[in-house]
Amino acid sequence: MRLLVLGGTKNLGRHVVEAALRDGHDVTLFNRGLTNPELFPEVRRLVGERAAPDVLATGEWDGVIDMSGFLVPQVRRSAELLRDRVGHYTYMSSIAVYASKVTPGMDESAPLLDWPDGAPEDEFTMDIYGPSKVRCESLLSATFGERAAAVRSGFVVGPYNPDFGNWGTALAHETRMESAARPSQPVQYVDARDLADFLLRLTTERVSGPFNAVGPTRTMAELADAWRSVVPDAAPVDWSPAVDRFHLPHDGSNDGTFRLDNRRALAAGLRLRADEEIARDYVAWVQDGNVPPPPPH
Q: Please report, as ranges, the residues that interact with ligand NAP according to CB under 6 A.
A: 7-14, 31-35, 49-50, 67-69, 92, 94, 153-156
Cα 262 to Cα 7, 81, 98, 109, distances in angstroms: 26, 32, 14, 12
Measured CA to CA, the distance from residue 217 to residue 239 in angstroms comes to 19
Nearer to ligand NAP, 232 or 296 (CB): 296
Nearer to ligand NAP, 34 or 242 (CB): 34
Nearer to ligand NAP, 144 or 155 (CB): 155
Q: Are strands 26-31 and 44-47 parallel, antiparallel or unpaired?
A: parallel
Q: How far is the CB of 232 from ligand NAP (least distance, A)?
A: 29
Q: How far is the CB of 285 from ligand NAP (least distance, A)?
A: 16
Amino acid occupying residue 33: G
Nearer to ligand NAP, 73 or 183 (CB): 73
Q: How far is the CB of 212 from ligand NAP (least distance, A)?
A: 11
Q: How far is the CB of 114 from ligand NAP (least distance, A)?
A: 19
Residues 6+ apart with CB under 8 A from 249: none
Residues 198 and 270: beta-carbon distance below 8 Å = yes
Residue number of the CB closest to ligand NAP reads 13
* Phi, psi torsion values for 141, nearest 5 degrees: -65, -40
What angle in degrees, to the nearest 10, is found between the helix axes of 13-22 and 192-204?
A: 60
Q: How far is the CB of 235 from ligand NAP (least distance, A)?
A: 26
Q: How far is the CB of 205 from ligand NAP (least distance, A)?
A: 21
- Our CA dihedral for 246, 247, 251, 254, rounded to 10 degrees, sits at -70
Nearer to ligand NAP, 6 or 268 (CB): 6
Residues 164 and 178: beta-carbon distance below 8 Å = no
Under DSSP, the state recorded for 98 is: B
Nearer to ligand NAP, 231 or 295 (CB): 295
